[in-house]
Amino acid sequence: MKKNFKAVTLFLVVMMLTSILAACGNSKKIEIGIVLPTKDEERWIQDEERFKAALKDSKYNTEILFSQGSSAKEKENVEALIAKGIEVLIICPFDGDGAASAVKAAKEADITVISYDRLITNTKNVDYYVTFDSVSVGKAQAQYLVDKTTGNGQPLYLYAGAATDNNAFLFFQGAWEVLQPKIADGTFKIANSSEAIALQDVATLDREQMSKIIGQVTTNWEPAEAKNKAQTHLTAAAADAKGDVAILGPNDGTSRAIADVFGADGDITSYVISGQDAEKATIQYIIDGKQSMTVLKDVRVLVKDAMDMAIGILDGTTPATTGTYPNGEIDVKAKQTDVVTVDKDNVKKAIVDSGYYEAKEFTNLK
Ligand code: GAL
């Protein structure tokens, strides 16, 4: 009897140990979790590819999940990563305010939160921010339009990103800083926004004023919405709002859609349009003369900054930062990276010779 009892106890202990070991084997610990907003835009596929390349030789385990344009899915992703034991979360929010509850859950699990490219807003639960200089992106877009414009009274069409993305405000802020004096001196005449016309004498817009304009000319970062808006604007435009025009195109995906609409209008003689992200499709558009410029945001650098920061945190060091960004509740310590203007004159040098993309991905590149 006693012997039997011992044997059964031993058997149960062995079984328990086996199942614990099996459980450990199944769910590999992940140290760094990465959450990106959507797979539907080339920009974020770029980031995924660059992360994968950077992670190949990392001593830490990482996992990348996509939120597919949904804050609910984003929270699920963060929870799944928390369950896998992450210690650092690198997250680009789909919606800056909408990510608050996801990062709250991360902080409650003692995880360091790095906001990636887009700032998570109106929460204290974000530790660091790695970003491009987004105000400079807007300035570069606007400066290009200014440099390519001759004469007076050139129609100016304004478009913006999604109001849920803090970056849309930073881009617009930078663009307005450069465009407003040129609107005031008569170089440009705003063609598609009554809200912008109402504010055209204001040199520096506050957030509420920018909200009014962005609310009217937002693309929501969606090419289909950009296309619809551009069609509506051109249908409503008077003859003097056509001819040679300038267009503040917010990012490559939406800029290509807008460029297609303007390119198809027989009353548009020529257009200059900005963009950003150096998407491959846009590089081809620039080579073909269909989009005027893009802003190269070298994702390799952003990924390296984010990974260096994450690894530093895991290794117990304090990450180096270059300044702070206010997120509505706190000033978030940030590491910021510069951007490069690309047009047909430097596309080969900036994009291909730099090793960003390979020449074989494009046609007619000279
Ligand atoms: C911004 C990002 C841009 C662009 C846009 C649309 O936040 O900085 O590079 O991709 O979102 O996703």
CA dihedral over 52, 55, 57, 63, signed as positive or negative = negative
Cα 138 to averaged position of ligand 1 atoms, centre (Å): 12
State which H helix or E strand residue 331 sits in: strand 331-337
Are residues 293 and 200 part of one domain? yes
Mutate to test the pocket of ligand 1, among 167, 214, 340 (most ligand atoms within 8 A of CB): 167
Are residues 103 and 168 part of one domain? no
Residues of the chain with pLDDT under 70: 1-27
What radius of gyration do the chain's Cα atoms show?
24
Ligand 1 proximal residues by C-beta, below 6 Å: 41, 43, 117-118, 161, 165, 167, 221, 251, 276-277, 297
Could you tell me if 128 and 321 are in contact, meaning their C-beta atoms sit under 8 angstroms apart?
A: yes
Cα 277 to averaged position of ligand 1 atoms, centre (Å): 8
Report which ligand 1 atom has the smallest distance to the Cα of 37. Answer: 12
User: Within a domain: residue 1?
Assistant: no
User: Within a domain: residue 16?
Assistant: no
Domain of residue 317, CATH code: 3.40.50.2300
Q: What is the pTM of this model?
A: 0.92
d(CA 340, CA 250): 15
pLDDT digits (tens, 9 = 90+) for 35-82: 999 999 999 999 999 999 998 888 899 999 999 999 999 999 999 999
Could you tell me if 223 and 253 are in contact, meaning their C-beta atoms sit under 8 angstroms apart?
A: yes
pLDDT digits (tens, 9 = 90+) for 130-175: 999 999 999 999 999 999 999 899 999 999 999 999 999 999 999 9
User: Within a domain: residue 15?
Assistant: no
Query: What pLDDT does residue 6 have?
Result: 60
Are residues 346 and 320 part of one domain? no
Query: What pLDDT does residue 366 have?
Result: 86
Cα 20 to averaged position of ligand 1 atoms, centre (Å): 43
Are residues 72 and 175 part of one domain? no
d(CA 174, CA 151): 23
Are residues 89 and 50 part of one domain? yes
Are residues 267 and 139 part of one domain? yes
Total of domains in the chain: 2
Instruction: Find the farthest-apart pair of alpha carbons in the chain and give their distance in angstroms, rounded.
Output: 104
Report which ligand 1 atom has the smallest distance to the Cα of 118. Answer: 7
Report which ligand 1 atom has the smallest distance to the Cα of 41. Answer: 12
Query: What pLDDT does residue 13 have?
Result: 52
Q: Which domain holds residue 288?
A: 134-297+342-361
Report which ligand 1 atom has the smallest distance to the Cα of 92. Answer: 7
